[in-house]
Amino acid sequence: MNILMILTSHDRLGDTGKKTGFWLEEFAAPFYVFKDAGAKVTLASPMGGQPPIDTSGIVTLMRSCSLGARA
């Protein structure tokens, strides 16, 4: 089974200038489900290159892990 996951190319939120990107947990959760099921996962972004990570998502994930919640 082949799966194509498309991640954002946007690193800024509209005209606000605020940093954005893909939410790490929203990517990682299905990615590992697919990999564990034996799928070949290909990552892509509309503009090519490495998709930006929304760093606020990393902070949220770390807080969840430190509280003992399953991320």
Higher pLDDT, 6 or 13: 6
Q: pLDDT of 7-61, one tens digit each? A: 999 999 889 989 999 998 889 899 999 999 999 999 999 999 999 999 887 777 6
For position 68, what pLDDT does the model report? Answer: 59
The amino acid sitting at 51 is P
For position 66, what pLDDT does the model report? Answer: 66
Higher pLDDT, 33 or 63: 33
Torsion of CA 53, 54, 55, 59, to 10 degrees: -120
Residue 8: name the closest of 47, 58, 60, 34 by CA. 47
For position 71, what pLDDT does the model report? Answer: 44
